[in-house]
Amino acid sequence: MNNNPAVPMMTLNNGVAIPQVGLGVYEAAEGAEVEAAVHAAFEAGYRLIDTAAIYGNEAGVGKAVKDSGLPREEIFITTKLWNANHAYDDALRAFDESMSRLDCGYIDLYLIHWPLPMDGKFPEAWRAMEKLYNDKRVRAIGVSNFKNHHLDELLKSTATVPAVNQIELHPMLQDKETRVYCAERGIAIESYSPLMRAGEALEHPVIAEISRQHGKTPAQAILRWHVQSDLIVIPKSVKPERIRENLDLFDFELSETEMQAIEGMDEGRRIGADPDTASFK
Ligand SMILES: NC(=O)c1ccc[n+]([C@@H]2O[C@H](COP(=O)([O-])OP(=O)(O)OC[C@H]3O[C@@H](n4cnc5c(N)ncnc54)[C@H](OP(=O)(O)O)[C@@H]3O)[C@@H](O)[C@H]2O)c1
């Protein structure tokens, strides 16, 4: 069923192992579309699925997990707490709602989706995450879209260092500042929108040349750069051939010069919302 060499595992700061490459399901429609994407991913050898309450497709992810027949412990499920639910009781209730949709026993990684709204509630949400962790309902807890000043604020209020910070990261937005901060504190970085949402990075001449040299696609060249940069990476696709393509990364290696050429593409260019200015609730 899976012809790919094993996906490397990374170890989070609490000892939990996470596959380095996973499937993102943002904008995969609830029901048949997301279920087919998750099945194609399992078939290709993925074991990490990244969803969120706000994606509206947790039930489909959960159904595909059950229907796959794979042992639950072989699968790594991430979901996220939405911004409206940062108050302590709201966070616990939102978690229960995610769990009833996913119906998968426990969550492997639960993330605070954004450090928003900016009314200072995320440390309260974090206390709820700590309870879920202590109650063994989640195997690891982390954050998403946290800049260094958000992490400073969080770490003032807790001794529990997030296991992960999931942030927008691709060749045109390399965010060295957050990566250095997190590396110093043992927080793993997970790259979201790793292909820049099929944006300009895929067409860039540096990527075109590297992919040509290796007989790989532009997406594979970019995803290989994430892997060799020690990032966890969760490309999204609902197309089976692209899902396979995005995991077929382990039969080639970028040279130091190629890694540096991609590093030279950084323009600090964000395609998603900036956590400091995002206005959604
Ligand atoms: N924490 C957060 O706030 C946050 C924010 C955004 C995303 N995320 C997570 O990160 C995941 C990935 O990010 P993303 O969905 O924003 O963007 P992405 O993975 O960079 O790009 C997805 C887009 O690229 C296309 N694509 C996928 N593989 C391709 C390939 N090999 N060649 C050409 N095009 C390809 C997809 O289309 P098709 O589906 O049609 O193939 C889709 O339009 C999300 O699904 C979600 O799980 C998290």
* Ligand 1 binding pocket includes 239 (Cβ within 6 Å): yes
Below-50 pLDDT ranges, the chain: 1-3
* Ligand 1 binding pocket includes 236 (Cβ within 6 Å): yes
- Residue 3: the pLDDT is 46
Q: What is the pLDDT of residues 192-210, one digit of tens each?
A: 999 999 989 999 999 999 9
Catalytic site residue from 46, 55, 110, 192: 55
Specify whether the CB–CB gap between 16 and 108 falls below 8 A: yes
Q: What is the pLDDT of residues 77-108, one digit of tens each?
A: 999 999 999 999 999 999 999 999 999 999 99
Pocket residue to mutate for ligand 1, from 33, 195, 241, most atoms within 8 A of Cβ: 195
Ligand 1, atom 17, lies closest to the CA of 193
- Residue 5: the pLDDT is 58
* Ligand 1 binding pocket includes 244 (Cβ within 6 Å): no
What are the CA-CA distances from residue 42 to residues 2, 26, 69, 74, 235 (Å)? 8, 17, 10, 10, 14
- Residue 60: the pLDDT is 98
Question: From ligand 1's centre to the CA of 200, what distance in Å?
Answer: 13
- Residue 118: the pLDDT is 66
- Residue 199: the pLDDT is 86
Note every long-range contact of 104-107, with CB atoms under 8 Å and residues 24 or more positions apart, other chains counting: 104/62, 104/65, 104/66, 104/72, 104/75, 104/77, 105/72, 106/136, 106/137, 106/138, 106/139, 107/77, 107/78, 107/79, 107/132, 107/137, 107/138, 107/139
Which atom of ligand 1 sits closest to the CA of residue 114?
3
Question: From ligand 1's centre to the CA of 156, what distance in Å?
Answer: 33
Ligand 1, atom 16, lies closest to the CA of 193
pTM for the whole structure: 0.98
Asked about 192 being catalytic, the answer comes back as no
Ligand 1, atom 37, lies closest to the CA of 237
- Residue 45: the pLDDT is 97
Q: What is the pLDDT of residues 44-73, one digit of tens each?
A: 999 999 999 999 999 999 999 999 999 999
* Ligand 1 binding pocket includes 178 (Cβ within 6 Å): no
